[in-house]
């Protein structure tokens, strides 16, 4: 996930402690699968799309990029897409990324895995932009 996507996610989420679990954050973003019930039958469905549209869009775009450049997400995408197709696999990667974000922010730990893909100069530039945004 790039600095812009991470910055936008932090700004939109504000305080991670308002979500008691990763499932609640995923549901807030609209990336949780919908459930349809009829009588005693339960059907899993599409994502709910009732959450934050901006966060969902940024996460799906970040997931598309992660499927190409991060080995962990590339393997997850390959496994999932064989059975469900490419578009659903990208949304599943976005769902997984958001769960990882919740664990990182709630525990205060950095991401362990994948490559950063940014030069030192670009990283510092995005840090300055993020600092300005958080002070505003």
The pLDDT tens digits for 46-72 are 777 788 889 889 999 999 998 888 888
A 10 A CB-CB count for 130 gives 17
Do residues 126 and 133 lie in contact, with contact meaning Cβ atoms separated by under 8 Å? no
Q: How far apart are CA 87 and CA 89, in angstroms?
A: 5
Q: Which of 15, 13, 23, 19 is nearest to 58 (CA)?
A: 13
What per-residue confidence (pLDDT) applies to 118? 60
What are the tens digits of pLDDT across the range 69-82?
888 888 999 999 99
Q: What is the pLDDT of residue 77?
A: 93
| pLDDT reported for residue 72 | 86
Render pLDDT for 92-131 as a digit per residue (tens, 0 to 9). Answer: 999 999 998 888 888 888 777 655 556 677 778 877 877 7
Number of neighbouring beta carbons within 10 Å of residue 70: 23
């Amino acid at each position: 996930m790039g600095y812009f996507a991470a910055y936008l996610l932090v700004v939109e989420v504000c305080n991670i402690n308002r979500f008691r679990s990763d499932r609640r954050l995923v549901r807030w973003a609209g990336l949780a699968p919908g459930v349809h019930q009829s009588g005693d039958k339960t059907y899993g469905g599409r994502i709910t799309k009732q959450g934050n549209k901006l966060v969902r869009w940024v996460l799906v775009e970040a997931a598309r990029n992660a499927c190409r450049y991060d080995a962990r997400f590339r393997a997850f995408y390959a496994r999932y897409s064989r059975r469900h197709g490419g578009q659903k696999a990208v949304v599943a990667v976005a769902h997984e990324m958001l769960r990882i974000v919740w664990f990182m922010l709630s525990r205060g730990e950095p991401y362990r895995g994948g490559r950063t893909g940014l030069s030192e100069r670009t990283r510092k530039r995005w840090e300055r932009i993020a600092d300005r945004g958080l002070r505003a």
